[in-house]
Amino acid sequence: MTDHRRKKAGAAGENGTSSLQPKPVVTDEEPQFINLRPKSLAEYIGQPEVVETLSIAIEAARQRKEPLDHILFHAPPGLGKTTLAHIIAQEMGVNITVTSGPALEKGGDLLGILTHLEDGDILFIDEIHRLPRVVEEFLYPAMEDFAVDFIFDKGVHARSHRYRLARFVLIGATTRAGLLSAPLRERFGIFRDLDFYSEDELVRIAKRSASLLNIQINTDGAYEIARRSRGTPRIVNRLLKRVRDFAQVRGDGTIRKKTVQEALELEGVDEKGLTMLDRKFLKAIIDFYRGGPAGIEAIAATLQEESDTLVDVVEPYLLKVGFLTRTSAGRKVTEKAYRHFGLPVQQGLFKKPKP
């Protein structure tokens, strides 16, 4: 939490109105990664189209001395949505307040935050698709007219009060754009998808993080980490730290290809970057549903996992690398996945139906 935000939170606490206390503001969940976040668009690796869209929007808003349009980022976890929100705040020279959809339970929670924002300030709502409906409805006039109508009490005692807000900028992040209601989606001026990162981009991220953390890594080692990171910068950073421990205790401290292979075998991360959960997911479809199609709820029940975790965390990368397909009848494991596991491809299973 920045000093500025701490000051604001304190001020709200003192006025004694519980509905105005901005308690749902959450701090970054991964403080150890804060110093690994790129601080400017120039430092940001990958996503060239998104970076260009943002730099044009930022430059134009700066020239006009106006706040930015509201921005929505859609991507699987760990691809850089939060990082971009912080960079935008940095580049615009404004404060950022961070919260998340599930943390905002009531309209009052949101109001408490909105009334403490100043002109141009950024409100970042992570997992915005999980905002409760009542809170979402508060957001519509806030985003469009920079005002909210707050109703006190119920029935005959009901009173309404219109709060004028500063011209804030909402940045929403979601792993499931499809779950956002159309009225909310339409209120964002800029809507960008982030894609998985290429191997070369992940190598640059691994080398950058290694240098910030003072870790010795050679190019082969960086490539091996990149190949096993499921196209995701957050995983690069996580694996880098695990392999660093291994290199320090079992090796000479430098991360090489072999160190990565040995360390990650212990972690259950295979040469394609699949984790235990990825493999369990694919194996469940193969073993219990003859390769599919199988419905996501049925697979989740078999694995005793939340279907949301499977849809948000597991599936996007398996779809991307072609180990899984999604059909109207359900999820199907591909021939490529059978081969990855060294399993015989069942005769006829992957033949195209005759027209």
* CA separation for the pair 224, 255 (Å, rounded): 10
Q: Are strands 254-255 and 216-217 parallel, antiparallel or unpaired?
A: parallel
Told to judge if 192 belongs to the known catalytic residues of this protein, a careful annotator would answer: no
Peptide bond connecting 293 to the previous residue in cis, omega within 30 degrees of 0 = yes
Q: How far apart, in whole angstroms, are the C-alpha atoms of residue 354 and residue 207?
A: 50
Instruction: Say how far apart CA 261 and CA 223 lie, in whole Å.
Output: 11
- 75 binds ligand ADP, rule: CB under 6 A: yes
Q: Which residues from 158-187 bind ligand ADP, rule CB under 6 A? A: 173
Which of residues 81 and 129 has its CB atom nearest to ligand ADP in the complex? 81
- Work out the end-to-end distance of the chain between its first and last CA atoms, rounded to an integer number of angstroms: 61
Site string for ligand ADP, 210-229 (x = CB under 6 A): --------------------
Q: Does 36 bind ligand ADP (CB under 6 A)?
A: yes
**Sign of the dihedral through C-alpha 182, 184, 189, 195:** negative
Q: Which of 38, 107, 112, 292 binds ligand ADP (CB under 6 A)?
A: 38
Which residue in the set 8, 70, 230, 234 belongs to the binding site for ligand ADP (CB under 6 A)?
Answer: 234
Scanning 34-42, 55-63, 93-101, 266-274 for contacts with ligand ADP by CB under 6 A, the matching segment is 34-42
CA trace torsion 208, 123, 313, 34 (10° rounding): 30
The residue behind tokens 């050679």 is 218
Cα(198)–Cα(333) distance, integer angstroms: 23
**C-beta of 31 vs 155, nearer to ligand ADP:** 31
| Among the listed residues 8, 61, 72, 83, the single contact to ligand ADP using CB under 6 A | 83
Could you give the angle at which helices 107-114 and 133-145 cross, rounded to 10 degrees? 30
80 binding ligand ADP? (CB under 6 A): yes
Answer for the pair 210, 254: CB distance below 8 angstroms, yes or no: no
CB of 83 to ligand ADP, least distance (A): 3
How many residues form the binding site for ligand ADP (CB under 6 A)? 21
Residue selected from 8, 37, 192, 230 as contacting ligand ADP according to rule CB under 6 A: 37
From candidates 9, 79, 202, 226, binder to ligand ADP by CB under 6 A: 79
Binding mask 45-64 for ligand ADP (x = CB under 6 A): xx------------------
Catalytic site includes residue 126: yes
Q: Judged by CB under 6 A, which of 82, 99, 229, 259 binds ligand ADP?
A: 82
**Out of 234, 238, 244, 256, which one is annotated catalytic?**
234
Residue 274: strand, helix, or coil: coil
Q: Can you list the positions of beta strands (E) in the chain?
A: 71-74, 96-100, 122-126, 147-152, 159-164, 169-174, 190-193, 216-217, 254-255, 324-327, 330-333
- Please tell me whether residue 255 binds ligand ADP under the rule CB under 6 A: no
Asked if residue 291 binds ligand ADP (CB under 6 A), the reply is: no
User: Does position 99 bind ligand ADP by CB under 6 A?
Assistant: no
- Residues whose CB falls within 8 Å of the CB of residue 160, separated by 6 or more in sequence, listed in order: 149, 150, 151, 152
- Catalytically annotated residues: 81-82, 126, 175, 234
Binding site for ligand ADP (CB under 6 A): 30, 33, 36-38, 44-46, 75, 77-83, 173, 205, 233-234, 237
